[in-house]
Amino acid sequence: MAKTILIIDDDINDTETMKLVLEKEKYKILTADNGADALDCIKDNRPDAILLDIKMPTLSGYDLLRLLRERLNHKVKMIYVSIIPKCDVDLRDIDGFVQKPFMPANLIKEVKKALK
């Protein structure tokens, strides 16, 4: 059965790129363009992994990570996908990191590593 990945990103181009790359790898993809939509999405769906942008309006990726961990604990793997340099990112409680702009191979590698 295909693993399900939720992509949370306010940039539609980044979302579509990640979706295309991961669908080619046979993952089932869900998307949300903000934190509120993501929280609604997990009410009805249980993704295996979440790709999470950090810089988003209203609810940052850091705040959303904290809320998602409260609801999902560590059963769901979470990966930041961000333009912020890795050295400037708070990596506590996260399962992976992909630097934007990203190469498709790097995205796939991080997702597979987290889902091992």
**How would you write the pLDDT of the chain (116 residues) with one tens digit per residue?**
799 999 999 999 999 999 999 999 999 999 999 999 999 999 999 999 999 999 998 889 999 999 999 998 888 999 999 999 999 999 999 999 999 999 999 999 999 999 99
In this prediction, residue 61 carries a pLDDT of 94
Confirm if 111 and 27 have CB atoms less than 8 A apart: yes
Full domain range(s) for residue 38: 4-115
Distances in whole angstroms, Cα of residue 72 to Cα of each of 10, 31, 59, 62, 93: 22, 17, 18, 15, 13
In this prediction, residue 8 carries a pLDDT of 97
Q: What is the DSSP letter of 45?
A: -
Distance of CA 90 to the CA centre of its chain: 15
In this prediction, residue 107 carries a pLDDT of 98
Residue 42 is part of a domain; what is its CATH number? 3.40.50.2300
Q: Can you tell me which residue has the tokens 């980044």?
A: 14
Count up the domains in the chain and report the number.
1
Integer Cα distance of 7 and 104 in angstroms:
15
In this prediction, residue 73 carries a pLDDT of 84
